[in-house]
Amino acid sequence: MPRGFVLPWSRGTVAELFTGRDNSLGFLRLALATAVVVSHARILGYGGKEHLLGFSHGQLTLGTISVYGFFVLSGILVSRSGARLPVGRYFWHRVLRILPGFWVCLLFTAFVAAPFLHWYVRGDLGGFSGPAGPLDYVQANWSLAMRQYDISGILTELRGSGAQVYNSAFDGALWSLRYEFLCYVGVAVLAVTGVLTRARRAVLLVTAVLFWLVARQALDKPFWHGPSEARYFEAVELPLLGVVTPAYTIYLGLAFCLGVLIELYRDRIPVSDWLGAASLAVVAGSLHYGYFFVFGIPAFAYALVWLAIRLPAPFRRIGARNDYSYGIYIYGFVVQQVLAVIGWTRWGMPAYLGLTMVFTLILAAASWHLVERPALRMKDLWRRPPAPRLPQPAKAPAEPEAPVPVAAGR
């Protein structure tokens, strides 16, 4: 589609309608983060199967599709940042956005949630700081590597004893953050090599390769289980990020690259209500009837952008100033584990989920106002201030030119 050309049934292009902050991205991020918490509730609280797992015939859960949504939106926003910032400032911004909140969450889990459960279960704190204790937990995970999920063996012991504990991780939701940061590194490489600004077709090629790697296996089985069933290469150990599985890198990388493509080709992508409705239908249909990883992921990427643009105005105010989505994502799991261990599931799923959201929102709000937003204020800490403009001396008025003499007789 030529630059600037708009199809008759479209409202414009993404470049025209998806600019600034006048969109519903904040609401969508909150919705995706909340969906992750909802997805975990039945599993962590009652040991049951997540609802969407049955609807999708085992393809994926509500939490998993929400993670793919996060990667699509991240691909849009992070590539925009990578294209306009020097690589040093780009990484500084990314580190400030993800690590301070993550570090405080680790400290809260290690020195508040874990000792509370240790005292609740064993009646004292004896042996709490032994091997695989809170200090080891922080040391093992501070770089997003997530090499240790339990603390002092508390949840593992409870799970083995038949107690109402169905997962031995204190905060299992943190697994995806190392893949997120790995995508940040990929954008930095694209920016340094000039691909983001001068060779965007290379991103199209990378996305096509990732799509082929996914589709070549998923086409053989309608209800393909995604990266958990895929086999590509052996897992690799990366510096700081720890063990990275190629299958999850490919699947999550595809969602991220779709977001990058939307940003790079925003002047050529139409915003159409017909396409938006069709994309939602494809997402629902591929979830229930199969081939989600072939048709559903691309459709989901377009649907998210369409919703960000076309949702009614009230949705644009939700999450526009205060972004609690990251806090909800990183604290929801540990809150659910604590409430399950102390038996607050006995009042049923609605009460358990409601209490989970109350405590999670409190922690998410504290994380945003006390940690994340103050950290983001340091984004320009190393930025060199622009040189002051010196006042230019006023020019002396030009002397009038002498009149050209007129020859006599002319």
pLDDT for the residue numbered 135: 95
pLDDT for the residue numbered 346: 94
Q: Which residues of the chain have pLDDT under 50?
A: 1-6, 398-410
pLDDT for the residue numbered 388: 59
> Do the Cβ atoms of 243 and 236 come closer than 8 Å?
yes
Q: How far apart are CA 360 and CA 330, in angstroms?
A: 9
Q: How far apart are CA 227 and CA 67, in angstroms?
A: 13
Is residue 358 exposed (0-12), middle (13-18) or buried (19+ Cβ within 10 Å)? exposed
pLDDT for the residue numbered 385: 59
pLDDT for the residue numbered 228: 86
pLDDT for the residue numbered 9: 65
82 domain-assigned: yes
Q: Tokens 């720890």 map to which residue? A: 242
pLDDT for the residue numbered 1: 45
15 domain-assigned: no
353 domain-assigned: yes
Nearest Cα residue to 336 out of 354, 312, 323: 354
Give the end-to-end CA distance of the chain in Å, rounded to a whole number: 65
pLDDT for the residue numbered 21: 79
- What's the predicted TM-score (pTM) here? 0.90
Q: What SS3 state is found at 341?
A: helix
14 domain-assigned: no
Domain enclosing residue 73, as ranges = 20-376
Q: How many domains, in total, are found in the chain?
A: 1
331 domain-assigned: yes
398 domain-assigned: no
The alpha carbon of residue 187 and the mean position of all alpha carbons in its chain are separated, in whole angstroms, by: 14
**What's the token pair of residue 285?**
């249909």
**What's the token pair of residue 290?**
């199969």
Q: How far apart are CA 136 and CA 293, in angstroms?
A: 38
**What's the token pair of residue 9?**
């049934």
**What's the token pair of residue 120?**
């609740």
For residue 213, the tally of other CB atoms under 10 A from its CB is: 18
pLDDT for the residue numbered 40: 95
9 domain-assigned: no
pLDDT for the residue numbered 131: 86
38 domain-assigned: yes
